[in-house]
Structure 1
Amino acid sequence: MVYTSLNHIQGKKGSRWAQFLRDIGTENLLVVAIDAAKFTHKAMVCNFYGDILVKPFEFDASMTGFDAIKRIIEIEKEKHGKEKVIVGIETTGHYYEDLVRRCHTVGYHVRIINAATTAQERQALLNWAKTDNLDLMAIVQSILHGRGTSSELSSGKVYTLQKLTRARRELVNEQTMTQNLIRMHMDHIFREYQGKSIWIKGKREHIKPFSDLFGKASLFMMRNYPHPSDILALGEAGLRKLSIRENLKLRDDCIKTLVEFAKESISQSKDHVEVELFLLTQKLDRLDLLKEQIKVLEEKIEDLFVETEGAMILSVPGIGVVTGAELFAEMGEISDFTHAGQLIKMAGTNPIVKQSGGRKPTYYGISKQGRRPFRNIVYQVGKSLSTNNPEMKEKYLALKDRGKLTGQAYIAIGNRMIRLAFSMIRNQTLYQTRQENYVLLKELSKKLRTKNVKKFYEKHVSLSSGLSA
């Protein structure tokens, strides 16, 4: 009998695990549970029926520690006549990764257990406590119930791309925090610099000197002339000369607004905000560094992404290099998935359905049971497509007409993109559209540097289909 993903209640993963047990026989299996940590791991050895053969013991997180646990495993394996060793390891930070690699090299069958799974197993033990011994019992229980995955650790270009995109996301978050601190310092130095409310014809309007607080002109002024007294010392004539000399392109209304706001500023004198001025300079330096680091990372991401099979999704209008790279990196290797719904579940953007008896199903919010970074990029993809892709924008508006909230519509469009990306990557097909003005070369030229446009055509576009596009 052939066991397919439809034969088991846990799908392909469950079918593979069940077949593994049938082939080896549960009586021939030795189960090792490992609770990974930074310096000292803890382990326990059992048979497949849960009988403890070696009580919980510690070993250090180094090669000497691994050799020690390997000796114990081999002794118990020979003592009890076991053929195969199953090692269950909880995904604790990144500390488990070296153990997984070493276990694979010596031929152990590794089951990687999600921390959320062990938490549920601890609850099943009806014990509110959390200790290393309870964690080991929860890992064993997870293995006995067929939880976890036998997949090896991510590697190759997809894994590298995931590390790069997540590193960029951290830098972007840090950049946002730095910008918020700059806003705070400017509130103390020149409160009105970010704008103020003015009554015009009985209505209150928010007037800002700069449309972009972190644009070239605004950053120059914050670094060199941040205080109202600096603006008043220059005056309108001095600001115009400065604008010409530094190519700031300050408009007349911007200059007049700056001078007017400086005259009426409620901020303290320059002597009283000396510390704020010092901290502002530091934060501006930090912002410049972050921008440069993000730029370098984005170039590296682009160079790598265009070489992967996931680069096909760059042919979709509304999907930029960074967004597309993040989506593909979080999807990972799709060869282990049979349909896009599995990826949607992995992201945790699948809707919760409740149904009982003959009643109609009720759809609640999304499950949020998957990876948070994956879920975040699905939302961002949906948001981008809803604005920049004409066909997806139609579907977005249709969802809004049906009463969907904005966030719900973004998630729905993001899920649709997962299905589209899954199909495009698996079949290695470019985006198909009814748009008359769509030209692949034009679309790619907006997103990629010239050398990478050429590389995309060489790697992903055939002479018969691509050059005519």
Structure 2
Amino acid sequence: MVYTPFNHIQGKNGSRWAKFIRETGADHLLIVAIDAAKFTHKAILSSFYGDILVRPFDFDASLSGFELVKKKIEEVMNAHEIEEVVVGIETTGHYYEDLVRRCHQEGYHVRVVNAATTSQERQALLNWSKTDNLDLMAIVQSIIHGRGTSSELPSGSVHNLQKLTRSRRELVDERTATQNLIRVHLDHVFREMQGKSIWKNGKREYVKPFSSLFGKAARYLMRHHPHPSDILKLGKEGLRALSIRENLKLRDHSIQILLEFASNSISRSKDKVEADIFLLNQKLDRLDLLDNQIRVLEKKIEDLFIQTEGAVLLTVPGIAVNTGAELYAEMGDLSDFDHAGQLIKLAGTNPIVKQSGGKRPSHYKISKQGRRTFRNVTYQVGRSLSVNNPALKEKYIALKERGKHPNQAYIAIGNRMIRLAFSMIKNQTLYQTNQENYVLLTELKKKLRAANVQLFYDRYVLSNALSSA
């Protein structure tokens, strides 16, 4: 009996490659290694045994360049008994993607090779040099040894969702950086607007005039009355009138704190901080723009996510639209995965296990050998569920009591969610819980706009009710 998952250290991927080699025959294979770049690619044609059939050559990153590669492949196929063409392409940024699509269209067998794999091939030969020709030979060796994956590039709604969620993450990071710059300028203009440490009942306490520095009231004052002298000039009655006129909802307690902090501010005079006031307004403009872009993007993500199979994740308490969309997008197409453990390895959140001589295996830190964006999402998901999901919050507390660091516990909860998400999406089932106050409709209304709540109910609730009837 042949156990195909054990045919190769790469498991299922290795088994497929071994089957392909057996059926085609090594003598009838042509290996084309391509080192992708932005403007000029480089390629080499070789037999399966490593014989160079066409020396390394350059070709431009356009259709004319690809036609040149096709011509050389056809010449070699006519001169030798070639039945299958295997194209190995190193994942260089996004420059390799058009090549992969074109090669698939031509019917070539494509193997996408990670740059780390070619690096390991060079190290195995004790060669620390790195040139284009060495990279090509490393790709050839990687293909011969069965490295790489034959999966096609992601496409469709999952791919679009991945682009949107990653773009949102970039905007959120940019917004955080902008907020930090605003704090820096505010330190020079009116430091105490962010809060102040005071003595109260013999203890030091941090007091803030605003619950959020980037709320409506604080933003308005930073833009129009940023300096302590502006606050003192308005006074109590002026601030109250301003609050009513602009609907800032400033409480008397906040007004009192603002006036007290302004009267004791360490800031320089207003004419000495004109540059910081100018830059502060510019950063506030950028923050408004980013907020608007994120809002528009989040609506787009919600409308797309609700139409995918991953929408079932929204029934899980603690999984909001953006979090669920990011998780589903990074998981990608599940058809090529047999179990959730493969997804955890893809994220690189699987623990490193070492065992030798029949001894008890030791578990080390997570491997971090997977996709960084997926790993970051797994951490964020675990962190959210540890607070907002009652069942998983208990798991988190249990992990903490066992001595786990919070970050370790977040990763463990994130991995648990990957397993749950894999099952829910594969089987298209909703979240099941014994939580007494859990109501599906209430959970969805917290996360989705009314129209999308109805879409979800039509797809998952009403359709199931009609089919069971």
**TM-score normalised by length of structure 2:** 0.97
Moved more, 119-128 or 36-45: 119-128
Cα separation, 2, equivalents of 1:90 and 1:136? 9
Question: For residue 381 of structure 1, what is the aligned residue in structure 2?
Answer: 381
Cα separation, 1, equivalents of 2:464 and 2:298? 31
Q: How far is 1:4 from its partner?
A: 4.1
Residues 174-209 of structure 1 deviation map (CA, whole Å, 9 limit, x = unaligned): 000100010011011112111122122332222211
Question: For residue 95 of structure 1, what is the aligned residue in structure 2?
Answer: 95
Count of aligned positions: 468
Residues 139-192 of structure 1 deviation map (CA, whole Å, 9 limit, x = unaligned): 111101111001111000000000000000000000001000100110111121
- Aligned-partner SS, 1:151: coil
Q: How does 1:313-392 map to 2 (within 5 A)?
A: 313-392=313-392
Cα separation, 1, equivalents of 2:463 and 2:31? 54
Question: For residue 117 of structure 1, what is the aligned residue in structure 2?
Answer: 117
Q: How does 1:210-225 map to 2 (within 5 A)?
A: 210-225=210-225
Change (3 A) 1:466 1:227: farther
Residues 403-428 of structure 1 deviation map (CA, whole Å, 9 limit, x = unaligned): 11100001000000000000011111
Instruction: Tell whether 2:435 aligns with 1:435.
Output: yes
Q: How far is 1:2 from its partner?
A: 7.3
Question: For residue 254 of structure 1, what is the aligned residue in structure 2?
Answer: 254
The one-letter amino acid of 2:37's match is A
Moved more, 259-268 or 378-387: 259-268
Change (3 A) 1:309 1:383: same
Question: For residue 178 of structure 1, what is the aligned residue in structure 2?
Answer: 178
Cα separation, 1, equivalents of 2:465 and 2:271? 68
- Aligned-partner SS, 1:5: helix
Instruction: Tell whether 2:286 aligns with 1:286.
Output: yes
Question: For residue 33 of structure 1, what is the aligned residue in structure 2?
Answer: 33
Q: How far is 1:260 from its partner?
A: 1.2
The one-letter amino acid of 1:185's match is H
Instruction: Tell whether 2:307 aligns with 1:307.
Output: yes
Q: How far is 1:5 from its partner?
A: 3.2
Q: How far is 1:127 from its partner?
A: 1.8
Q: How far is 1:462 from its partner?
A: 4.5
Moved more, 129-138 or 85-94: 129-138
Moved more, 79-88 or 179-188: 79-88
CA contact (8 A) 1:461 1:467 kept: no
- Unaligned runs of 5+ residues in structure 1 are none
Question: For residue 449 of structure 1, what is the aligned residue in structure 2?
Answer: 449
Question: For residue 238 of structure 1, what is the aligned residue in structure 2?
Answer: 238
- Aligned-partner SS, 1:461: helix
Cα separation, 1, equivalents of 2:265 and 2:359? 65
The one-letter amino acid of 1:287's match is L
Residues 356-377 of structure 1 deviation map (CA, whole Å, 9 limit, x = unaligned): 2232211111000000110001
CA contact (8 A) 1:303 1:452 kept: yes
Q: How does 1:82-231 map to 2 (within 5 A)?
A: 82-231=82-231
Question: For residue 424 of structure 2, what is the aligned residue in structure 1?
Answer: 424
Residues 262-301 of structure 1 deviation map (CA, whole Å, 9 limit, x = unaligned): 1111111111111111111111011011011000110000
- Aligned-partner SS, 1:393: helix
- Aligned-partner SS, 1:99: helix
Change (3 A) 1:29 1:411: same
Cα separation, 2, equivalents of 1:79 and 1:464? 60
Q: How far is 1:354 from its partner?
A: 1.5
- Aligned-partner SS, 1:433: coil
Cα separation, 1, equivalents of 2:129 and 2:235? 68
The one-letter amino acid of 1:26's match is A
The one-letter amino acid of 2:403's match is G
Residues 441-468 of structure 1 deviation map (CA, whole Å, 9 limit, x = unaligned): 1111111111101111222235455999
The one-letter amino acid of 2:196's match is K
The one-letter amino acid of 2:33's match is A
Cα separation, 1, equivalents of 2:15 and 2:247? 66
The one-letter amino acid of 1:202's match is G
Cα separation, 2, equivalents of 1:121 and 1:235? 72
The one-letter amino acid of 1:236's match is K
Moved more, 354-363 or 402-411: 354-363
- Aligned-partner SS, 2:53: strand
Q: How far is 1:6 from its partner?
A: 4.7
**TM-score normalised by length of structure 1:** 0.97
The one-letter amino acid of 2:199's match is W
CA contact (8 A) 1:158 1:329 kept: yes
Q: Percent identity?
A: 72
CA contact (8 A) 1:307 1:459 kept: no
Q: How far is 1:334 from its partner?
A: 0.4
Instruction: Tell whether 2:276 aligns with 1:276.
Output: yes
Change (3 A) 1:467 1:104: closer
Root-mean-square deviation over aligned CA pairs: 1.5
- Aligned-partner SS, 2:183: helix
Cα separation, 1, equivalents of 2:441 and 2:5? 40
Residues 75-110 of structure 1 deviation map (CA, whole Å, 9 limit, x = unaligned): 112112211111000110110011111111111111
Moved more, 123-132 or 392-401: 123-132
